[in-house]
Amino acid sequence: MGVVSVEEWTMDEPFNASSFDSHDIVFVNGGNTFYLLKKMRNAQFAQAVEAFVNRGGLYVGVSAGSIVAGPSIDVAACKTAGDSNNVGLVNLAALNLVNTAIYPHFRPEQQTEVNEFQATVAYPVVALKDGEALLVQNESIERV
């Protein structure tokens, strides 16, 4: 299996349920998590990617792209030097592709911060160092 083609989207145009029909992987990069989620909402990305994942498509998120896959992006603001909500988002509900918050770019000195955040939410929080990932398949979650 190899990569046949790569297509880039900017989230400036609306997505629909068939936007990813000819694709096997959707890769979402990082940046400001609040800005990314706002752009996703404006482009109806959540509905399109949910249909894509439900048909067996692979979602890959890096940094902010991994945070938005969880139930909420509130973890983005709690991080040391976290993202600024300079787009005024009030509703921080995310894509909810997984019921786990990702704390990317984790360093051991941030463990107290992760523990304090975990105490404020009802879902698991997984701190990932650079180079680490979560592999989610059905109900199975594995750190890789």
Of 63, 66, 72, 74, the catalytic one is 63
Of 19, 72, 74, 83, the catalytic one is 83
Q: Which of 7, 71, 57, 63 is nearest to 35 (CA)?
A: 63
22 an active-site residue? Answer: no
Residue recorded with tokens 């990069």: 29
12 an active-site residue? Answer: no
Q: What span, in angstroms and rounded, lies between the C-alpha atoms of 43 and 119?
A: 33
List all residues 6 or more positions away from 92 whose beta carbon is below 8 Å from its beta carbon: 37, 72, 73, 74
83 an active-site residue? Answer: yes
Q: Among all residues, which ones are annotated catalytic?
A: 63, 83, 105
